Structure formats: C-alpha cells, structure tokens
C-alpha cells in the first residue's frame, strides 16, 4: 500500500467541498474580488479549471513518456484565465466540475508504473508523477480559501496543514527573508500546549537557521495561513530571545514572511510513491 489512495481520497473530499462553495455563488458573487490582488472570484475559479487541465498534461506525460508541458507558456496560462473569468457563475461551476472529473479519470487510468515517471512544472525541479496529486491538492486547498466565501484556514484538514508545512520547510529559500527561526506550538482546543511539564517548557517543533531576523511562534495552522499569505499573521507572535513560548495574539510587528513555494516540489522526492507523505 502506498500514499496514493489516501491522497486521492483527500483530493476527492477537498474537490467536493470546493464545488459546493462554487455552486453557492451567484453571478454577482463571482464578479466580486477574491483574496488575491487583482483577481475576482471568477479568476480563481477559471484558474482552478485550467489548473486541472494542466495537471492532466503532466499525467499524460507520465503515461506516454512524451514531454507534455503543464502550460504552453506563462502568457497562455494568463490569457486562458482572463478569457474565462467573466463567465456567468453556472458556466464557471461547470468548467471546474468538468476539469475535476477529467483529472480524476486521468488519475484513475494511470498505469501503476507511470507514477514513478519524472515530469516538470513551469518551475524546477522535476518531480515524480505521484507528486502531481500533492500539487493539485495544494491548488484546491489554498484557492478555496481565496474565494473568500466561507471556507478558511480553519477548514483545512490536519493532513493538508502537516504536508504543506513539511514541503514549505523543504523548499525554504536558504538565508532569505527576515525570519531566523520558527517554533511550532501545537496547542489543543483549550489553548494549552500538549506535553508541557509543570513549571517546564513546552514540547515544540523548531525550524532553526532560516535566515536573519527574529524567531516567530504559532500553531501549525496559523503559521501556514501566514506563510502563504492567507492571513495577516493572526495567531503568529514574535518570540523573545531565550524563550520557548510566548502567549497572546499575534500579527503586530511581524516581519514579512519569505516568498512561499519558490520551488514546485522538494528536490529529493522518492521516485516510487512512498507509504506515507510526509
């Protein structure tokens, strides 16, 4: 057993949630701004439809061995999104539904050996075809939030948060940005830190040596939302030197996070689909 069935199940659930949100939008709703600067909700939906097509291209490459670019060019990608963004809500929904269905069929029909084939997006590095599922999940999860239609970072599955933070760290631009260290504090619903000993420190995951600047602390979910531009830093706090935990709200006086996802994928992914990821 590999991670493929779990990724497919997670993607099916995320896609169904996205389609339910899209189905609730009126023509006026899709013409309204999204959370992405310069894009309406229609732009986001058009992008999600075309992104499904682009990932089908990569699976076609894996299946046939014939290089099939994800998009013909950056210009063509932008033009296709602009051409579809102003469509009525019903047409946008149908486009997203159709793209998602065709992508699911391409996944279902891909021969087992093809999941180990090497493909490449519009940015390096090349990666094995099984990682296309992770990339599509990333698009659906983040852009669902960008619709600003009731789905937010609090709705991300824990598996999504864990995987995206894992890949964020593995693709971190070395020495870039104004954050020196990140301390992940995995609090429970009551605001406590699991593993805290009486009078002692908290159990935490530490990302050291990231760049030049202060340390910040947050729960995994709050950190991912901030690093990816899906929050203003709510729940993220500066961490004074010598402390392992700082309580209270975040967002004030935070440095700018570094550019997110400067690489399409981690550079050292296994060719064969692993048992679990991460």
pLDDT category, 105, cuts 50, 70, 90?
A: very high
pLDDT over 70 percentage in the chain:
90
For the domain made up of 4-151, give the CATH fold: 1.20.120
d(CA 274, CA 200): 37
Sign of the four-CA dihedral 209, 215, 218, 221: negative
Burial class (CB in 10 A: 0-12, 13-18, 19+), 73: exposed
Taking residues 219-240, report their average pLDDT: 95
pLDDT category, 252, cuts 50, 70, 90?
A: low
Q: Mean pLDDT across the chain, nearest whole number? A: 90
Both tokens assigned to 180: 């020196």
Return the higher-pLDDT residue of 204 and 111.
Answer: 111
Q: Which of 117, 112, 48 is nearest to 84 (CA)?
A: 48
Domain map (residue ranges) of the chain: 4-151, 168-239
Q: Reply yes or no on whether the pLDDT at 47 is more than 80.
A: yes
pLDDT over 90 percentage in the chain:
81
The neighbour count for residue 219, using CB atoms within 10 Å, is 18
Confidence (pLDDT) at 242: 46
Q: Would you say 197 and 214 are in contact if contact means Cβ atoms under 8 Å apart?
A: no
d(CA 181, CA 168): 14
Cβ-based neighbours of 149, under 8 Å, separated by 6 or more: 21, 24, 25, 29, 41
Confidence (pLDDT) at 54: 98
Taking residues 126-141, report their average pLDDT: 98
Tokens 């992940």 belong to which residue?
Answer: 184
Model confidence pLDDT, tens digit, residues 173-214 = 877 778 999 999 976 434 433 333 333 445 589 999 999 899
């Amino acid at each position: 057993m590999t991670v493929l069935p779990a990724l497919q199940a997670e993607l099916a659930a995320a896609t169904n949630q996205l389609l339910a949100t899209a189905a609730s939008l009126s023509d006026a709703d899709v013409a309204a701004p999204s959370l992405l600067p310069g894009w309406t909700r229609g732009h986001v939906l058009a992008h999600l439809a075309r992104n499904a097509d682009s990932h089908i291209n990569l699976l076609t490459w894996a299946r046939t061995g014939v290089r099939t670019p994800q998009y013909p060019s950056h210009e063509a990608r932008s033009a296709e999104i602009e051409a579809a963004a102003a469509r009525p809500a019903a047409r946008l929904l149908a486009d997203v539904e159709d793209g998602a269905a065709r992508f699911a069929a391409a996944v279902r029909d891909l021969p087992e050996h093809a999941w180990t084939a090497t493909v490449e997006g519009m940015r390096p590095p090349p990666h094995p075809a099984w990682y296309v599922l992770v990339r599509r999940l990333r698009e659906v999860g983040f852009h669902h939030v960008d619709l600003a239609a009731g789905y937010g970072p609090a709705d991300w599955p824990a598996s999504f948060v864990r995987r995206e933070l894992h890949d964020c760290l593995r693709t971190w631009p070395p020495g870039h940005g104004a954050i020196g260290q990140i301390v992940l504090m995995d609090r429970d619903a009551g605001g406590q830190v699991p593993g805290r000993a009486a009078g002692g420190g908290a159990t935490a995951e530490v990302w050291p040596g990231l760049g030049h600047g202060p340390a910040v602390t947050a729960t995994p979910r709050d950190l991912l939302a901030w690093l990816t531009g899906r929050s203003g830093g709510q729940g993220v706090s500066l961490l004074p030197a010598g402390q392992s935990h700082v309580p209270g709200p975040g967002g004030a006086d935070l440095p700018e996070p570094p550019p997110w996802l400067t690489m399409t994928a981690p550079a050292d992914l296994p060719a064969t689909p692993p048992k679990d990821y991460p």
